[in-house]
């Protein structure tokens, strides 16, 4: 079972926000289903003012969420993040000075004590980078048990920006989950989401943080594959080894008078591989068309060699 607890708070008693509930709704929408409408995460969403998210209520919800076992547990929060001399906090609606809400140390304890093998936390709030740091150690070392990944909108001393009635960070997360961070077979992981967001924000915006202690990354969502599995599995048929060259000639190009139907079909597959950087034409040619017309070859790129090995080992699966 894959489950997600999604929290968005707008109606703070002091300093209300306007886009956090919208952020939570967008995250729920994209996480609930994969691209083919199959079920993904079973989402429970808590938004305020619809639900009065005060500290005892949120703490109890988090305790119950992390206590229940699951294959993957994902917690998302959009709201105020606060920091003081004691540490960082996820703000609840009644937050006030030195009683801001859920301390990040409390959240870290719940995460590390959870029996769920893989836990993912996504925080779109100011100072979210404080999660995972133990102030008493007086060091910025993150303490996470194995199987935990944290994706934060900003460093511990930074604010998180809003854009178009929502968080800039969440908007990028949704873009990544909708395919911007997917690999060739359509998998989106928390690591690829971070890479996407990191590049999109650039050097002049808030800096996202990624903290993780995992031995493997489970896909967060499955998107449309760039090349369908049936065609991708043909790589070892066309290339007998990763360093092999595939010899072309005019019979592969459908516009040539000598075109052969079976070769044209193969050439279309090769063009798909070319489009996703799995192969490139050789012998100085810039396009597969000219490589075919001039009877030259094509070969796998380093990325193509990686997927060749996956196909050879039978590891390309829906």
Residue with the bigger pLDDT between 161 and 175: it is 175
Domain termination site, one of 190, 222, 254: 222
Phi, psi of 261 (to 5 degrees): -55, -45
CA of residue 318 relative to chain centroid, distance? 18
Domain termination site, one of 192, 222, 252: 222
Q: Are 87 and 138 in contact (CB under 8 A)?
A: no
Same domain assignment for residues 7 and 119: yes
Residue with the bigger pLDDT between 82 and 143: it is 82
Q: What are the tokens at 146?
A: 């194995």
Give the mean model confidence (pLDDT) for residues 113-142: 76
- CATH number at 185 reads 3.40.50.1460
pLDDT at 139: 58
Same domain assignment for residues 137 and 239: no
pLDDT at 141: 59
Residues 6+ apart with CB under 8 A from 37: none
Give the mean model confidence (pLDDT) for residues 200-224: 85
Same domain assignment for residues 119 and 181: yes
Mean pLDDT score of the chain, rounded to an integer? 90
Same domain assignment for residues 263 and 169: no
Give the mean model confidence (pLDDT) for residues 37-44: 96
Same domain assignment for residues 160 and 289: no
pLDDT at 209: 85
Same domain assignment for residues 60 and 127: yes
pLDDT at 107: 92
Domain termination site, one of 222, 250, 272: 222
pLDDT at 283: 87
Taking each helix axis from N to C end, the angle separating 55-67 and 104-113, rounded to the nearest 10 degrees, works out to 20
pTM: 0.88
In the predicted structure, residue 96 carries a pLDDT above the cut 70: yes
In the predicted structure, residue 137 carries a pLDDT above the cut 70: no
pLDDT digits (tens, 9 = 90+) for 242-289: 999 999 999 999 999 999 999 999 999 999 999 999 999 998 899 999
CA distance 179 to 36: 12
Same domain assignment for residues 17 and 80: yes
What's the total number of domains in the chain?
A: 2
Give the mean model confidence (pLDDT) for residues 14-33: 94
Same domain assignment for residues 202 and 295: no
Same domain assignment for residues 277 and 177: no
CA distance 28 to 32: 6
Q: Specify if 318 maps to a domain.
A: no
pLDDT digits (tens, 9 = 90+) for 167-207: 788 999 999 999 999 999 999 999 999 999 988 887 656 78
Q: Name the least confident of 99-103, 139-143, 177-181.
A: 139-143
Residues 6+ apart with CB under 8 A from 202: none
Same domain assignment for residues 64 and 6: yes
Closest CA to 100 of 77, 120, 118, 83: 83
Q: Specify if 317 maps to a domain.
A: no
- CATH number at 307 reads 1.10.10
pLDDT at 33: 97
Range of the domain at 26: 2-222
Same domain assignment for residues 153 and 273: no
Q: What are the tokens at 76?
A: 């998302």
Q: Specify if 212 maps to a domain.
A: yes
DSSP collapsed to 3 states, 78-119: ECCEEECCCCEEEEEEEEECCEEEEEHHHHHHHHHHCCCCEE
Closest CA to 118 of 3, 28, 284, 9: 3
Q: Specify if 33 maps to a domain.
A: yes
Give the mean model confidence (pLDDT) for residues 130-139: 60
Same domain assignment for residues 108 and 213: yes
Q: Specify if 307 maps to a domain.
A: yes
Q: Above pLDDT 90, what percent of the chain?
A: 70
pLDDT at 181: 96
């Amino acid at each position: 079972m894959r489950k997600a607890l999604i929290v968005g708070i707008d109606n703070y008693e002091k300093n209300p926000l306007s886009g956090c509930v919208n952020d939570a709704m967008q995250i729920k929408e994209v996480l609930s289903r994969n691209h083919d409408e199959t079920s993904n995460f079973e989402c429970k969403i808590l938004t305020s003012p619809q639900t009065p998210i005060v500290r005892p209520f949120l703490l109890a919800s988090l305790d119950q969420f992390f206590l229940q076992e699951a294959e993957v547990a994902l917690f998302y929060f959009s709201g105020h993040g606060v920091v003081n001399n004691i540490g960082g906090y996820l703000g609840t609606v009644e937050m006030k000075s030195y009683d801001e809400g859920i301390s990040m140390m409390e959240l870290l304890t719940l995460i590390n004590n959870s029996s769920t093998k893989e836990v993912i936390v996504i925080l779109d709030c100011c100072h979210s980078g404080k999660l995972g740091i133990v102030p008493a150690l007086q060091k910025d070392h993150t303490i996470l048990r194995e199987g935990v990944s944290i994706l934060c909108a900003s460093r511990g001393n930074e604010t998180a920006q809003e854009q178009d009635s929502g968080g800039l960070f969440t908007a990028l997360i949704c873009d990544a989950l909708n395919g911007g961070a997917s690999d060739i077979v359509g998998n989106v992981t928390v690591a690829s989401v971070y890479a996407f967001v990191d590049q999109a924000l650039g050097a002049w915006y808030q800096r996202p943080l990624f903290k993780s202690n995992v031995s493997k990354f489970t896909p967060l969502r499955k998107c449309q594959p760039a090349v369908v599995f049936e065609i991708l599995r043909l790589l070892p048929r066309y290339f007998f080894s990763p360093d092999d060259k595939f010899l072309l000639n005019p019979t592969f190009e459908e516009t040539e008078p000598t075109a052969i139907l079976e070769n044209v079909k193969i050439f279309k597959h090769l063009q798909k591989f070319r489009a996703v950087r799995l192969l490139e034409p050789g012998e100085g040619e810039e396009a597969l068309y000219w490589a075919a017309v001039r009877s030259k070859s094509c070969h796998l790129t380093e990325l193509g060699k990686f997927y060749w090995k996956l196909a050879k080992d039978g590891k390309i699966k829906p």
